[in-house]
């Protein structure tokens, strides 16, 4: 009578079909059925009564620091942080050392991550003037999430700030390319706005106009090239009307920290919330929320970018920008679900269906027969405190330390393997590259 290797029994499934109590049957790492089963139909039954079963959460923007800065993070510790937080796959950024700008550098990252990360993974290839002519081929390489372009300088040396350079990259791509959109020319002009020992001057230097100007330029260039773009970590109320007018070419990412923090939080957290683009005035946070609630925002990315506490304690502006975030994305956003700021269906759209739709992941991002059994299992009623000692990232801190949230990840399944349950990470690691429809 056995019909499945594993049955997740009695949980509330959230997928494109709605929200309802159903069982999920898994065999050979794939979903083989959704419905109602008896215990005798499975080799193993996992009781999910009182829990919500979500499609595996995908964090499509992380920095895992390997190779080159493994003292902050590496692929193994970053993967542990992901699955502890209920994240089943991550897309990692190219500003490592060496930069991910060649076929060999990408292959090296894929080899390092395979069967060493607990979650599945893909890596962005950095777009530069020197490799622009090769990008159409690079996009099709195994494990490539797409092309990433920095129009404003952040961590590392990847930078294409001028219209001609960006246009050359756009001319050569086939898939959707991701952009860090801050105007480098304005950033250079305004460096004098930084005040020593005052991280609250960070959003004065990297002001809203630097983001708006760059996004305006980027949308014009994408329109002229007839290419698709993905604008990362949008942080200003001023950019959303521009993005709304270009929905056919542009998709939109926002981050939990731009939804959670605002200018007044620098007094308490200082450089811990120093990010590029910055945490800004409350009116911009409100603009991000309004865009999320209007359906303009396509995905949530954490922009997980760990530094050691010693590095973050340097006086501003010597302090580096970046904070850990992959492990806290799910609990922070589930707390907002419980507060009524977004629905559980919208959360799933932002973290699973959205990445599936935008990036064209093959067999991931939905709870549906034939898809990978990537599942994030959460207790929406669990009240927990986020603390530094819970953090798996090598940096061992979070700006959300001591925050109490309602809603917690209790289980992470990657291709049918239970990799985290009730805070215990189980091995061995078996992470594999995410496949993409446009690169099959």
For the chain, which residues make up each domain, given as ranges? Answer: 4-53+369-428, 56-359
> Does pLDDT of 436 surpass 90?
yes
pTM: 0.98
Residue 86 is predicted with a pLDDT of 98
d(CA 291, CA 254): 9
In this structure, the chain runs to a length of: 440
Q: How confident is the model at residue 248 (pLDDT cuts 50, 70, 90)?
A: very high
Residue 155 is predicted with a pLDDT of 56
303 annotated active-site: yes
Q: Tens of pLDDT along 22-39?
A: 999 999 999 999 999 999
Q: Using an 8 Å Cβ cutoff, are 220 and 194 in contact?
A: no
Q: Using an 8 Å Cβ cutoff, are 61 and 301 in contact?
A: yes
Residue 427 is predicted with a pLDDT of 83
Q: How far is CA 193 from CA 105, 200, 206, in A?
A: 37, 11, 9
Q: How high is the mean pLDDT of the chain?
A: 97
> Does pLDDT of 257 surpass 60?
yes
Q: Using an 8 Å Cβ cutoff, are 34 and 369 in contact?
A: yes
Residue 1 is predicted with a pLDDT of 64
Closest Cα to residue 88, out of 46, 54, 52, 45?
A: 54
d(CA 233, CA 38): 45
Q: Tens of pLDDT along 265-315?
A: 999 999 999 999 999 999 999 999 999 999 999 999 999 999 999 999 999
Closest Cα to residue 229, out of 252, 198, 262?
A: 252
Give the residue, 39 or 201, on which the prediction is more confident. Answer: 201
CA atoms within 13 A on the CB side of 163: 12
Q: How confident is the model at residue 80 (pLDDT cuts 50, 70, 90)?
A: very high
| C-alpha torsion 261→263→268→271, nearest 10 | 90
Q: Given the residues 265, 298, 303, 374, select the one marked as catalytic.
A: 303
Residue 156 is predicted with a pLDDT of 57
Closest Cα to residue 180, out of 109, 307, 104, 275?
A: 275
> Does pLDDT of 64 surpass 90?
yes
Q: In CATH, what is the architecture of 4-53+369-428? A: Roll (2.30)
Q: Using an 8 Å Cβ cutoff, are 349 and 342 in contact?
A: no
Q: Tens of pLDDT along 391-425?
A: 999 999 999 999 999 999 999 999 999 999 999 99
Average pLDDT value for residue range 421-436: 96
Q: Tens of pLDDT along 119-160?
A: 999 999 999 999 999 999 999 999 999 999 999 876 556 899
Task: Characterize the bridge pairing of strands 375-385 and 404-414.
Answer: antiparallel
Per CATH, the number for 56-359 is 3.20.20.140
405's enclosing H/E stretch is strand 404-414
């Amino acid at each position: 009578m056995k019909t499945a290797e594993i049955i997740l029994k009695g949980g509330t499934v959230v997928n494109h079909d709605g929200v309802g109590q159903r069982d999920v049957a898994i065999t050979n790492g794939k979903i083989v059925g959704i419905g109602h089963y008896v215990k005798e139909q499975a080799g193993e039954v996992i009781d999910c009564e009182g829990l919500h079963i979500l499609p595996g959460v995908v964090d499509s923007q992380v920095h895992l620091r390997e190779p080159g800065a493994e003292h902050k993070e590496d692929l193994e510790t970053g993967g542990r942080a992901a699955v502890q937080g209920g994240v089943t796959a991550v897309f990692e950024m190219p500003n490592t050392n060496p930069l991910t700008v060649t076929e060999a550098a990408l292959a090296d990252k894929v080899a390092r991550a395979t069967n060493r990360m607990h979650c599945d993974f893909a890596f962005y290839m950095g777009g530069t003037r020197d490799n622009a002519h090769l990008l159409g081929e690079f996009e099709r390489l195994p494990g490539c999430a797409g092309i990433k372009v920095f129009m404003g300088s952040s961590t590392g040396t990847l930078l294409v700030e001028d219209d001609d350079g960006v246009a050359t990259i756009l001319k050569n791509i086939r898939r959707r390319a991701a952009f860090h959109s801050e105007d480098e020319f304005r950033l250079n002009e305004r460096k004098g706005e930084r005040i020593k020992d005052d991280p609250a001057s960070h959003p004065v230097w990297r002001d809203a106009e630097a983001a708006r100007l760059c996004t305006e330029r980027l949308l014009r260039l994408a329109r002229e090239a007839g290419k698709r773009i993905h604008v990362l970590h949008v942080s200003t109320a001023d950019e959303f009307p521009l993005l709304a007018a270009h929905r056919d070419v542009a998709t939109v990412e926002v981050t939990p920290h731009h939804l959670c923090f605002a200018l007044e939080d620098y007094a308490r957290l200082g450089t811990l919330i120093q990010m590029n683009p910055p945490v800004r005035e409350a009116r911009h946070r409100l603009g991000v929320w309004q865009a999320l609630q209007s359906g303009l925002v396509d995905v949530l990315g954490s922009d997980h970018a760990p530094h050691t506490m010693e590095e973050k304690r340097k006086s501003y502006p010597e302090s580096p920008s970046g904070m850990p975030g992959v492990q806290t994305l799910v609990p922070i956003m589930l707390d907002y679900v419980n507060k009524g700021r977004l629905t559980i269906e919208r959360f799933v759209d932002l973290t699973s269906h959205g990445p599936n739709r935008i990036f064209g992941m093959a067999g991931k991002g939905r709870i549906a027969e034939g898809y990978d059994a990537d599942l994030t299992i959460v207790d929406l009623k669990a009240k927990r405190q986020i603390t530094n000692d819970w953090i798996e990232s090598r940096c061992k801190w979070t700006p959300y330390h001591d925050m109490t949230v309602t809603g917690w990840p209790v289980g992470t399944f990657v291709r049918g393997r239970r990799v985290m349950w009730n805070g215990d990470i189980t091995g061995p690691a078996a992470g594999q590259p995410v496949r993409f429809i446009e690169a099959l």
